[in-house]
Amino acid sequence: MTARRRSHKARSIDRLAHIQAGGHLEEQTPRTLLKNILLTAPESSIVLPESVVKPVPTPQVVQTSRRESSRGSLELQLPEVEPSTTLAPGLLAPGRRKQRLRLSVFQQGMDQGLPLSQEPYGNADASSITSSLNLTFATPLQPQSVKRPGLARRPPTRRAVDVGTFLQDMQDTSLALAPPGDSLRTPVTTLPTDTVLEDTQPFSQPLLGRSPTVQHSLPCPSHSGAKDVERAVGHRTWSSGPRLQNSGPGKPAQLMAGKVEEVDALALGFPNTSSNISGEDGVEPLQNGVGEEAEGRMKEGLSMREVEEATEAQGSARAEEPEEHTEVTEAEGSQGAIEAKEPEGSSGDEDTPGRTASPELASSTPEFLRARRLQFPEPAPPPSTAVLTSEPPETLSARLPPRTRIPGPRPRQDPYKTGLNHYAKLFSFYAKMPMEKKSLEMVEKCLDKYFQHLCDDLEVFAAHAGRKTVRPEDLELLMRRQGLVTDQVSLHVLVERHLPLEYRQLLIPCAFSGNSVFPAQ
């Protein structure tokens, strides 16, 4: 409302000049007339604003009559438009400031009997009021602030409550996240204790709601149940990802009990570990920790699956859902099934056809795992599908000797990942927008690919020049081919823009005293 009035103001200035030049009203719309009224000098008395308000709305009940009256008022005011032009800009400034006040005054006028639909005429009222009340706007500041008590008082009360509940919720989530591990170990028996342990806070309830769904999915061999649990677990990993990272390695230690609990542990432990895995650095140690403990309770192939998962991750062929990969591969390990490779080969075929084949398995628990395993062949991006398909056969053969590959890839992963992490942080800095953690992993993968291409290109360029050392000229040629360096933009310009001073001095030759140039060419 006020913004529109301000825009009207801006336009009305032009129109006023236009009208003055024309000497007569071109557009005889009520809006333009009223704008002129806004700008023209006050005609009515300043002392009694109310008396102005009342006689103004009363004759303006009918539109036509109102127009005439406004026109009449305008005609009266037209000869005085010129002398009032000097006043108009001065009026505009207080007018703009006081537009909100004008609105409240307008509302007063409205309350006094104006129909709401006739808003432009309400503007007329306001305008006439302003014309008369321009000088009085300074005084009614206090009464108008009093006239709007509801707007002033509402915010603080709400905020105080929100912060308090929020802090409570934060504390209770930390409490609520600790017990669910115990609750899911013995699902049936500890249900009443869960309700005792966890307070009546909103965050504990979704976890509670998910634990019964986990149990329900196990007995009934329905795909939908498995799906829901996976989704619920997936959601839970999302929500409690960073928190559970700490408790992740601890949880597998707790879940050493029998098979039924193992499945629950799988459902929870692996999402936690997968969230760990899919998280930041230190992939390997977490995987190793989980692998050692997993072996104690599951079959041997499980740890191998994790190791293979690690190698696959290094192969930078992770599809869009690495969490499900880790869950699935660990499920595969529990099955010791080779059939997993077939769905891997067929990339993109969805979960449901795979899951329809699953219910024929003997027990519900392996079927649950298998259903999640068959989610593994997610549609990977085209450049990475080739890598994916090439890697699984290798991992198949390597699955047999357990644990020998764990110390191998480890030194490659950690410093490599930290280096990529550096550039991923730069990515998030350049993007200037919040990003998902998954997208940072994607960035790291892209960087890996980029480094491969870069090294290959540099090798080709150096060989083309008959050298075995990569020199800055090769780099310049590369950047020229990439389109970064053009005839308009030279390499030195880019160096100056993006690198800090110390590197600039090293790269760009600069003349110093004594006829010396650094760096020497």
Partner 1 sequence: MALSTTVSQRKLIKRKAPRGFLKRVFKRRKPHLRLETSSDLLVHLNCLLFVHRLAEESRTNACENKCGIIKKDHVLAAAKVILKKSRG
Q: Which is nearer to partner 1, 84 or 384 (CB)?
A: 384
**Interaction of residue 178 with partner 1, rule CB under 8 A:** no
Q: Which is nearer to partner 1, 85 or 168 (CB)?
A: 168
**Interaction of residue 161 with partner 1, rule CB under 8 A:** no
92, 256, 396, 499: which one binds partner 1 (CB under 8 A): 499
**Interaction of residue 503 with partner 1, rule CB under 8 A:** yes
Site string for partner 1, 361-390 (x = CB under 8 A): --------------------x-x-------
23, 196, 362, 429: which one binds partner 1 (CB under 8 A): 429
DSSP annotation of 58: G
For residue 344 the two structure tokens come to: 């891997």
3-state class of 45 per DSSP?
Answer: coil
CB of 110 to partner 1, least distance (A): 38
- 8-18: b (≥16 Cβ within 10 Å) or e: bbeebbebbee
Q: Count of residues for the chain?
A: 521
Place of tokens 């333009």: 32
Interface with partner 1: number of residues (CB under 8 A): 77
67, 227, 403, 449: which one binds partner 1 (CB under 8 A): 449
**Interaction of residue 148 with partner 1, rule CB under 8 A:** no
88, 302, 313, 440: which one binds partner 1 (CB under 8 A): 440
Q: Which is nearer to partner 1, 332 or 441 (CB)?
A: 441
Number of C-beta neighbours around residue 471 at 10 A: 13
Which has the closest alpha carbon to 226: 360, 389, 370, 90? 370
Q: Could you report how far apart the first and last alpha carbons of the chain are, in Å?
A: 68
DSSP annotation of 42: P
**Interaction of residue 186 with partner 1, rule CB under 8 A:** no
**Interaction of residue 472 with partner 1, rule CB under 8 A:** yes
**Interaction of residue 158 with partner 1, rule CB under 8 A:** no
- Bridge-based pairing state of the strands 516-518 and 510-512: antiparallel
401, 436, 488, 515: which one binds partner 1 (CB under 8 A): 436
**Interaction of residue 469 with partner 1, rule CB under 8 A:** yes
Which has the closest alpha carbon to 234: 267, 265, 204, 202? 267
Which residues from 12-51 bind partner 1, rule CB under 8 A?
Answer: none
DSSP annotation of 117: T
For residue 340 the two structure tokens come to: 């997993």
User: Which of these ranges, 31-39, 110-118, 397-405, 464-472, lies near partner 1 under the rule CB under 8 A?
Assistant: 464-472
**Interaction of residue 495 with partner 1, rule CB under 8 A:** yes
**Distances in Å between the alpha carbon of 325 and those of 33, 35, 226, 331, 443?**
70, 67, 16, 9, 19
* C-alpha to C-alpha distance for 85 and 356, rounded to whole angstroms: 82
**Interaction of residue 452 with partner 1, rule CB under 8 A:** yes
**Interaction of residue 137 with partner 1, rule CB under 8 A:** no
* C-alpha to C-alpha distance for 367 and 423, rounded to whole angstroms: 41
**Interaction of residue 175 with partner 1, rule CB under 8 A:** no
Q: Which is nearer to partner 1, 172 or 228 (CB)?
A: 172
**Interaction of residue 453 with partner 1, rule CB under 8 A:** yes
**Interaction of residue 425 with partner 1, rule CB under 8 A:** yes
Assess contact for 343 and 354: CB atoms under 8 A.
yes
**Interaction of residue 479 with partner 1, rule CB under 8 A:** yes
User: Which of these ranges, 64-72, 300-308, 394-402, 416-424, lies near partner 1 under the rule CB under 8 A?
Assistant: 416-424
The enclosing H or E element of 364 equals helix 364-373
471, 486, 490, 510: which one binds partner 1 (CB under 8 A): 471
* C-alpha to C-alpha distance for 368 and 65, rounded to whole angstroms: 79
**Interaction of residue 419 with partner 1, rule CB under 8 A:** yes
**Interaction of residue 519 with partner 1, rule CB under 8 A:** yes
* C-alpha to C-alpha distance for 299 and 255, rounded to whole angstroms: 15
**Interaction of residue 324 with partner 1, rule CB under 8 A:** no
516 backbone dihedrals φ, ψ, rounded to 5°: -110, 145
Site string for partner 1, 203-242 (x = CB under 8 A): x----------------------------------xxxxx
**Interaction of residue 270 with partner 1, rule CB under 8 A:** no
Asked whether the CA dihedral 10, 14, 17, 23 is positive or negative, the reply is: negative
User: Which of these ranges, 53-61, 87-95, 163-171, 347-355, lies near partner 1 under the rule CB under 8 A?
Assistant: 163-171
In degrees, rounded to 5, the angle at the alpha carbon of residue 384 between the alpha carbons of residues 380 and 385 is 60
Conformational region of residue 316, where left means phi above 0, alpha means psi within -120 to 50, and beta covers everything else = left
191, 423, 465, 492: which one binds partner 1 (CB under 8 A): 423
User: Which of these ranges, 81-89, 248-256, 292-300, 466-474, lies near partner 1 under the rule CB under 8 A?
Assistant: 466-474
